[in-house]
Amino acid sequence: MDKNNLEKQTAFISEEEKVINWQEVQVAFKKSFGNEVYTSWLEKISLVKEYNDYLILGVPTRFFRDWIVSRYLDKILEQVKSFKLSLNRIEFKIIEDNKGNTDFIKINEINKVTEIKDSILNYNRLNSNLNFANFIEGKSNDIALSYSKKVCEHLSRYNPLYICGGVGLGKTHLLNAIGLELQSENNVMYISAERFMYHFIKSIKKNDMVNFKDFFRKSSVFIIDDIQFIRGKESLQEEFFHTFNSLIDKGSQIIISADRSPSKLDKVQERIKSRLAGGLVVDIDTPDFDLKVKIIKKKIIEIQNQFKEVINLNEEVINYIASECKTNIRDLIGILNRIIAFSRVHNKTLNISDCKNILKDVFNQIRVITVDKIQNVVSNYFNISLSDMLSQRRSRPLARPRQIAMYLAKKMTSRSLPEIGRRFANRDHTTVIHAVKTITRLSDQDDEMKKNIHQIKNLLLEQ
């Protein structure tokens, strides 16, 4: 056989029995399933053996196999078929303790939750100090409080009850209070979304999903804190969705908290968002002056009773703290504790100038706010991508957030107008001026705009 012929022949053979290029298939998976699903699931599938009309693929666990078979098999088959026309079947083989297994755990960000202590008791423990009796009512939380109490009287009437609000405003306190109220007569499960995730991953690793499902689905009151944690975590969302549905089906009450409303939960599946919004959504706002004063006074009484000591803070000092602390109730209590600690150490009744001194560093804390940070927070807040926000498109849902971000960049950083323009995809400084003017005017006239700006500023200051 001459050389030419040989080449022809091998080319012919390799064409006929072409070994599927798994890397190429993986690239196609990534494209069609999206990064989240890909890194959580598809990436872990390996090619074990190739036959003419079927493939054997390797997966790390039985649960993993069931999961992808029930959700993705058709699409996987279709994808792989585009590489191998003769294919009509896929089989999975569980390859235990392989590298894929540990990778899988890592991908699911277990590193974020490893510090959580691994005890069942630990995560279902309600804090008896966070009850209704010591939750103080104000304009910012009265609706959330009243429905939290109503839920306890009429289980399943508002299902789920969804409480949202920024950090430190009392969400965890309310969830706890509900749990305490109901625990004597119900099987109450209280867990943070983060811990739910931890147990989920642990169960996958131990191949013990049956217990996991039973454990969470047997509760008659299921309380889950900080649900925003599931954002961007596809597999966790799936599991949460199933838990949620089976609890609702059997008539259990669900109470959820989050740092934002269901519609603002980006990177969460639509069907979950609509489930979350399907009961009653109540929100907690930042406290007004009156509520802050009430809380300070109540805390002082609590501390006096607890430590059997007299705390002398005059009205002026209390008002000062209440008006200066603009963030949230957690910070307010922190500041109060700091002042009380100081007065203990120095054994004196503090006046307002002492307080000013003590708190100088707290209130003047320099927060470094950058244009980048503003852009990120604003685009997140409005649920649009950063690149859309910076793009040249002029539709209002993009243009308004863009203008708000420019306005905040001018107000909250020391950057000049041309510098800000450059950071917004090289826009002219006159565009920035126009944005600042527009938003200034709108936030005077429009309550919604005022509220948005206020909330975004808080988000920026919290970070």
Q: Which residues contribute to the site for ligand ADP (CB under 6 A)? A: 130, 134-136, 141, 165, 167-173, 295, 329-330, 333
- Which C-beta is closer to Mg ion: that of 171 or that of 427? 171
- Which C-beta is closer to ligand ADP: that of 57 or that of 329? 329
- Which C-beta is closer to Mg ion: that of 138 or that of 166? 166
Q: Which DSSP helix (H) or strand (E) runs through 156? A: none
Tokens of 73: 């098999």
Residue closest to ligand ADP (Cβ): 170
Q: How far is the CB of 461 from ligand ADP (least distance, A)?
A: 15
Residue 166, phi then psi, degrees to nearest 5: -65, 175
Q: How far is the CB of 169 from Mg ion (least distance, A)?
A: 9
Order of strands, sheet of 221-225, starting from the edge strand that comes earlier in the sequence:
188-192, 221-225, 253-258, 161-164, 280-283
The entry of Mg ion, ligand ADP, none near residue 461 (CB within 5 to 8 angstroms by kind) is none
The entry of ligand ADP, Mg ion, none near residue 224 (CB within 5 to 8 angstroms by kind) is none
Task: In whole angstroms, give the CA distance from residue 141 to residue 118.
Answer: 34
| Sign of the torsion formed by the C-alpha atoms of 200, 259, 144 and 157 | negative
The entry of Mg ion, ligand ADP, none near residue 136 (CB within 5 to 8 angstroms by kind) is ligand ADP
Q: How far is the CB of 169 from ligand ADP (least distance, A)?
A: 4
For 259-395, list the strands marked E by DSSP: 280-283
DSSP-derived letter for residue 427 is: -
| Number of amino acids touching Mg ion (CB under 5 A) | 2
Tokens of 18: 């072409």
The entry of ligand ADP, Mg ion, none near residue 333 (CB within 5 to 8 angstroms by kind) is ligand ADP
Residue 379, phi then psi, degrees to nearest 5: -65, -35
Q: How far is the CB of 257 from Mg ion (least distance, A)?
A: 7
- Which C-beta is closer to ligand ADP: that of 129 or that of 187? 129
Per the DSSP assignment, residues forming a β-bridge with 164 are: 258, 283
- Which C-beta is closer to ligand ADP: that of 69 or that of 333? 333
**How big is the CA angle at 396 (ends 372 and 266), to the nearest 5 degrees?**
55
- Which C-beta is closer to Mg ion: that of 124 or that of 207? 124
Closest by CA position to 164, among listed 174, 155, 151? 174
- Which C-beta is closer to ligand ADP: that of 79 or that of 327? 327
Q: How far is the CB of 258 from ligand ADP (least distance, A)?
A: 10
**How big is the CA angle at 368 (ends 367 and 371), to the nearest 5 degrees?**
135
The entry of ligand ADP, Mg ion, none near residue 167 (CB within 5 to 8 angstroms by kind) is ligand ADP
Q: How far is the CB of 144 from ligand ADP (least distance, A)?
A: 9
Q: How far is the CB of 51 from ligand ADP (least distance, A)?
A: 55
Let me know: does 399 contact 409? Beta carbons within 8 Å. Answer: no
Q: How far is the CB of 210 from ligand ADP (least distance, A)?
A: 32
Let me know: does 165 contact 284? Beta carbons within 8 Å. Answer: yes
**Which parts of 82-112 fold into alpha helices (H)?**
99-107
Interface with Mg ion in residues 132-191 (CB under 5 A): 171-172
- Which C-beta is closer to Mg ion: that of 127 or that of 323? 127
Q: How far is the CB of 167 from Mg ion (least distance, A)?
A: 7
Amino acid (one-letter) located at 225: D
Task: In whole angstroms, give the CA distance from residue 35 to residue 232.
Answer: 10
- Which C-beta is closer to ligand ADP: that of 173 or that of 427? 173
Q: Helix 289-307 and helix 329-346: axis angle, to 10°? A: 40
> How many residues are listed for the chain in this entry?
463
**Which residues are near Mg ion by CB under 5 A?**
171-172
